[in-house]
Amino acid sequence: MIQKVFLPKLGQTMEEATIEKWTKKEGDRVERGDVLLEITTDKATLEVESYVTGVLKKIMAKEGEVLPVNAVIALVGEPEDELPSDEEIAQTAGEREEARPAAAKKEEAPAVQEAFVAAAPSARRFASPRARLLAKREKINLNLISGTGPGGRIVEKDIQACLAQLEGVKVTPTAKVIAYERGIDLTTVKGTGPGGKITKADVLQAAPRAAVPAAKRLELTAMRSVVAERMTYSKTHIPHYYLNIAVDMTECVALRQELNETAPAKISYNDFITRAVSISMSKHPEVNVVWKDDHIEQNAAINVGIAVALDEGLIVPVIRNADRLSLKDTAIASRGLIDKARGKRLTPDEYTGGCITISNLGMFDVDSFIAVINPGESIILGVGRIRETPVVIDGGIHIRAIMYLTLSGDHRAVDGAVGAACLKDVKDLLEKPQELV
């Protein structure tokens, strides 16, 4: 029996996703629990497992296509099962439009948070596989094409429209190849050959070869595009201030070593910091807020995000109700989320709803840095490395394990003095780490 495979809703906030890559091809045997494909939501690339067993008879969602949740993306059955007719398949594909959220239907544009409308329009440009294939075959440079697909995506009809425009243009094969390689619009080049044909010399004169190699164009991943949008919004709309403080981690280093000799779940310095931050925020609820244009919203819980660097970009899984967790439970929760993030198994509910982000670059030998606030939050904490440093204590010079913390705050919602009080409590807790256990 033919079974439909639907694009799953992997979190309460997920409405649509981009088909990133199929890990199975038509004709492959699929077992329940096998990874069928990878999808990209607004912040992360996730693996989708099959919930049916059989043969992958038909892939109905192309790589690069943006679809709403619950859209039919594939058909699975047994080898002897016959596929539905083309009309029935077309009808099934048409059901996607019914499943698409109303906001996404409007002008075929994907839903975008209103806060990020100001992002640069060229931040993300993609082309469908069929469009890329046709463009490569016909020597059409994608940089010259304006996409009419969802989110400005270049689709096959855009390439066909360009070809139609070039039908009346006379050009030699060599000139066409050079124009393709250099991104020259042939409709702007005046031909000097017989009958007005564009020659190699005409193209070279239009754009002389550069003395240095041409820059390489790198297409944006979905995650990199979102990071660009959010960080641009943050630095142009949120008035940041910065507070830097030195923390003596000597006792924390010793306590961590002692605990990890017997602890079943190894505890990281980040776990100590997360625990200290959550306790401090519970003492200073005035930092656990977010600016909402005409009011300030008090968050109902203390949810701490941990920045995780991936090859595709940055993602921030969130430890919910962090102030209610022990140090050991914090370590377990943190490790589980980080492993899921690196394995592309996070659901949208696991990387949304944060109140503060902790970004740690200590493993890269960074002493201190200024982090950019994650929109939707009011503070972010930059964590540097722990370094043996000579310090003066009671008139004498001692070697201590010093770490620098830098808090970035949204001055609209959190005053500097409030942020400083919260940061000071984080320092005090880390310097007396027994209180965190």
Residues labelled as active-site residues: 411
| Residue 241: C-alpha distances to residues 354, 356, 372, 384, 436 (Å) | 20, 15, 10, 18, 28
**Amino acid identity at 290:** V
**Distance of alpha carbon 59 from alpha carbon 188, whole angstroms:** 41
**Distance of alpha carbon 309 from alpha carbon 3, whole angstroms:** 38
Residue 80: how many CB atoms within 10 A of its CB? 6
Pair type for strands 304-306 and 356-360:
parallel
Q: What residues have CB less than 8 Å from 357, skipping those under 6 apart?
A: 304, 305, 306, 307, 316, 371, 374, 377, 380, 381
* Sequential DSSP letters for 232-283: HHHHHHS-EEEEEEEEE-HHHHHHHHHHHTT-SSPPPHHHHHHHHHHHHHHH
Residue reference for tokens 């949810």: 303
Tell how far CA 173 is from the center of its chain.
41
Residue 63 · residue 22 · CB < 8 Å: yes
Pair type for strands 356-360 and 379-393:
parallel
Tokens encoding 366: 């960074």
Tokens encoding 172: 């030699």
Residue 66 · residue 17 · CB < 8 Å: yes
